[in-house]
Structure 1
Amino acid sequence: MDPKVENGAMQGDEVPTWGKSLPVPSVQEMVRKDHQFLSERYIQEHKDRAVATNLSPTTSEIPIINFSLLINGDEDERRKLDTACKEWGFFQITNHGVPEKVLKKMKAAVAAFYELPLEEKSKYAMAADDIQGYGQVYVVSEHQKLDWCDIMVLMTLPPEYKKMKYWPVAISGFEEAVQEYTTETLKLAEEIFANISLLMGMDKDALKRLHGKIMKQAIRMNYYPTCSRPDLVLGVSPHSDTSTITLLLQDDDITGLQIRHREGWVPVKPIPNAIVANIGDVIEGWSNGVYKSIEHRAVTNVTAARMSVATFVIPDDDVELGPVETMVDDYNRPVMYKSIKYVDYLRYTFSKKMDGKANTELLKAGNESV
């Protein structure tokens, strides 16, 4: 059967799927009905709870990169990027050039979606064999602990991978807001790739080429309801991202993101209109572990719901994740990561619950388990 294409997007089952997730109830709706709601399924084991005692003893904050300086070739700023990628895996980007009105429209579109009644949101629920749509991901067992959030996942690039049945038609300007925002963040990602390419000893277009014929992009819109006992739950469990790079638009007023740094967790305090970037598993493999993806999580609070927008840039399915030549030295930096197709890695990760950095063990040389 030929794929049906409408407005440049695939309609139906011709778009590849990379995983599936079991359906779970909407946390937002359960809290709407009972603000004291808390079931055993969401209460984390003691060792996994986001308590104050496991926050980093330092007052460190993640690095801040002035994007305007970076794209104008400032060597000091590029060195800051190198340090940020090596020592933190996360950094905040200021002066990035994404218009403030585009950021506000994106946030308004997310808010509008989560304000819809459950009956309307449910029209965009994930199919049984898909990870696009409204629901939850990485739910592989009826018995695992659940995250205190609802999500909406959409593929935005390439256009033919967009499944329009998941795009809310009830919200005026939703598609336009998402397209404007993801177009701008892709430009931002490509400029970061150009600078990291140079830092990795390659020409500036190398990382972009490594993505293969199709550079893909997905967006995840997160909603974290208030919780009567935030000390017992997690908004998102600790994990690293399967992307090349992730760009996160945070709520300006609420700190929810925490990253693993040394022996503890560091809260990432929002800078108004800044965008948070983090290295994904793909760059860890390509860089032979010089730049590592970092474990991160989200916490909740009693007083206010929080929203965020994560944009993932990912390579073509058949791209290999092994180290590039410039990041290997037989004497000082031998091959630490094996070559594996991205699609195999992606499907492997979606078959399991989020568990810190456990998935990246598959990328390590000598580990043959799949």
Structure 2
Amino acid sequence: MAAKTPENLLWSLPVPSVKELAMKGLATVPARYIRDDVEECTSSDPNQAFLGVPLIDMDKLVNPETRDMEVHKLHAACKDWGAFQLINHGLCSRTVRSMKAKTEEFFNLDLEEKQRWAQKPGSLEGYGQAFVISEDQKLEWCDMIYLRALPLPLRNLGFWPATPHGYREAIESYCEGIRELAVSLMGFIAKGLLGVGGKRFSEAFEDGRYELRMNCYPPCPEPEKVVGIAPHADISGITFLLDCRDVAGLQVQKDGHWFTVRPIADAIVVNLGHILEITSNGIYKAPQHRAIVDRWKERLSVVAFCYPSPDTDIGPAKELIEAGRPALYRTLKLEEYFKRFYDWNLGAVPFIDTLKL
């Protein structure tokens, strides 16, 4: 019996495991993965190869003697790139190591074991591939597992892998660390945007919504013909990406060019989502980004999507409007914001444009 077609983006059709395909030693890519709808996934414009996403030092943000200069750099990174690499972020090194190791162990499990945590009709959570809403849709060269982690009532442990041993505990510890980092970083982002402390912005993320997506990009015999994740901008407030290995794959678009983000040891890549684009009234942008894949090497990543608390108004910051800037976006609650996205169905109009006044 054919799978029922999803009614919105809240769930995804089952698809083959890309890792299982890669393990067969294919010489060519199956037709459904060939992405002639996406420009060739090559590296950065060679004439601008010296450019890279900015580097922000959390130690300098928390140090009163260096804070102002680093906040200025942070503001410029958010305005010009919408992305940066964060060093000295303060996440527990043991927690980070465990998260990387357990994620690698999970994707190395037998397919049958991984499918114990597979997505189910009506839910985007679980092991599979996101946003597959039709049988003829082009697919991404990626396996993933997506989980809602915070607040606690959102957790569905039926999708949280009990294997490998300790993975659930690693996920829980990592997400708690990410929450603390998001709360702290949001205060500095608000200071850069508004020129004043951002206590209410930080507080909004203390009780916010946190979701994790662990990705596996297997080696591909024709990497130039596929995409790991298609170009998109995140709908989060802020997103943290942790590469599990020293394998580049994330690309960020700036001024019409794609720039490959080279992994830095012990750094986390941060990119802004649509919620911060709206909050900044368009001063900051949620960047288009994508994942490319390697011919020989597997890439693994852990992505944390951070949202403010449900009672937060998603709209331009009042300080900006009171300063005389006309509001470019409507204001709505988080629940309505999510509903609009999940009903959007990957439309031709960018999601952010549907929220403009």
**Structure 2 contact 74–192 (Cα < 8 Å) conserved:** no
Q: In structure 1, what is the Cα distance between the partners aligned to 2:215 and 2:275? A: 23
Instruction: Return the match for 1:257 from 250, 255, 260.
Output: 250
Tell me which residue corresponds to 1:19: 10
Q: In structure 2, what is the Cα distance between the partners aligned to 1:179 and 1:357? A: 36
Q: 1:60 to 1:302 in 2, by over 3 A?
A: same
Q: 1:291 to 1:251 in 2, by over 3 A?
A: same
- SS of 1:166's equivalent in the other structure is coil
Tell me which residue corresponds to 1:172: 165
Q: In structure 1, what is the Cα distance between the partners aligned to 2:71 and 2:9? A: 35
Tell me which residue corresponds to 1:75: 68
Instruction: Return the match for 1:131 from 124, 138, 149.
Output: 124
Structure 1 residue 72 displacement after superposition: 2.0
Q: In structure 2, what is the Cα distance between the partners aligned to 1:337 and 1:359? A: 12
Tell me which residue corresponds to 2:95: 102
Which one is further off, 79-88 or 22-31? 22-31
Q: In structure 1, what is the Cα distance between the partners aligned to 2:51 and 2:44? A: 16
Structure 1 residue 210 displacement after superposition: 4.1
**Structure 1 contact 255–268 (Cα < 8 Å) conserved:** yes
1:45 aligns with 2:14: no
Instruction: Return the match for 1:63 from 40, 54, 57.
Output: 54
Structure 1 residue 197 displacement after superposition: 2.0
Q: 1:355 to 1:54 in 2, by over 3 A?
A: farther
Tell me which residue corresponds to 1:217: 210
Tell me which residue corresponds to 1:348: 340
Q: In structure 1, what is the Cα distance between the partners aligned to 2:330 and 2:275? A: 12
Q: Residue type of the partner of 2:231?
A: P
Q: 1:195 to 1:364 in 2, by over 3 A?
A: same
Structure 1 residue 77 displacement after superposition: 0.5
Structure 1 residue 300 displacement after superposition: 0.3
1:119 aligns with 2:115: no
What's the CA shift string for 1:226-259, capped at 9, x where partnerless? 1000000000000011110001101341110000
**Structure 1 contact 67–96 (Cα < 8 Å) conserved:** yes
Q: In structure 1, what is the Cα distance between the partners aligned to 2:352 and 2:131? A: 16
Q: In structure 1, what is the Cα distance between the partners aligned to 2:129 and 2:304? A: 16
Runs (4+) of structure 1 moved beyond 4 Å?
A: 52-56, 351-357
Q: Residue type of the partner of 2:199?
A: D
Within 5 Å, give how 1:139-178 maps onto structure 2: 139-178=132-171
**Structure 2 contact 107–216 (Cα < 8 Å) conserved:** yes
Within 5 Å, give how 1:206-355 maps onto structure 2: 206-210=200-204, 214-317=207-310, 319-328=312-321, 331=324, 333-351=325-343
Report the TM-score when normalising by structure 1. 0.88
Structure 1 residue 168 displacement after superposition: 1.3
Q: 1:228 to 1:192 in 2, by over 3 A?
A: same
1:205 aligns with 2:199: yes
CA RMSD of aligned residues (A): 2.2
Structure 1 residue 263 displacement after superposition: 2.0
Q: Residue type of the partner of 1:42?
A: Y
Q: Residue type of the partner of 1:87?
A: D
Q: Residue type of the partner of 2:40?
A: R
**Structure 2 contact 281–317 (Cα < 8 Å) conserved:** yes
- SS of 2:216's equivalent in the other structure is strand
Q: 1:53 to 1:283 in 2, by over 3 A?
A: closer
**Structure 1 contact 68–96 (Cα < 8 Å) conserved:** yes
1:360 aligns with 2:326: no
Q: In structure 2, what is the Cα distance between the partners aligned to 1:68 and 1:357? A: 40
Report the TM-score when normalising by structure 2. 0.91
Structure 1 residue 41 displacement after superposition: 0.9
Which runs of no fewer than 5 residues in structure 2 stay unpaired?
1-7
Structure 1 residue 55 displacement after superposition: 6.7
- SS of 1:102's equivalent in the other structure is helix
**Structure 2 contact 17–128 (Cα < 8 Å) conserved:** yes
Tell me which residue corresponds to 1:186: 179
Which runs of no fewer than 5 residues in structure 1 stay unpaired?
1-16, 366-370
**Structure 1 contact 138–351 (Cα < 8 Å) conserved:** no
Q: In structure 2, what is the Cα distance between the partners aligned to 1:55 and 1:339? A: 41
Structure 1 residue 269 displacement after superposition: 0.4
Q: 1:48 to 1:329 in 2, by over 3 A?
A: farther
**Structure 2 contact 245–300 (Cα < 8 Å) conserved:** no
- SS of 2:300's equivalent in the other structure is strand
- SS of 1:310's equivalent in the other structure is strand
Q: In structure 2, what is the Cα distance between the partners aligned to 1:53 and 1:170? A: 38
Structure 1 residue 99 displacement after superposition: 2.8
Tell me which residue corresponds to 1:11: none
Q: Structure 1 vs Structure 2: percent identity of aligned residues?
A: 34
Tell me which residue corresponds to 1:90: 83
Q: In structure 2, what is the Cα distance between the partners aligned to 1:55 and 1:118? A: 40
What's the CA shift string for 1:41-99, capped at 9, x where partnerless? 11011653213586773420111011011022311011010000000100101111223
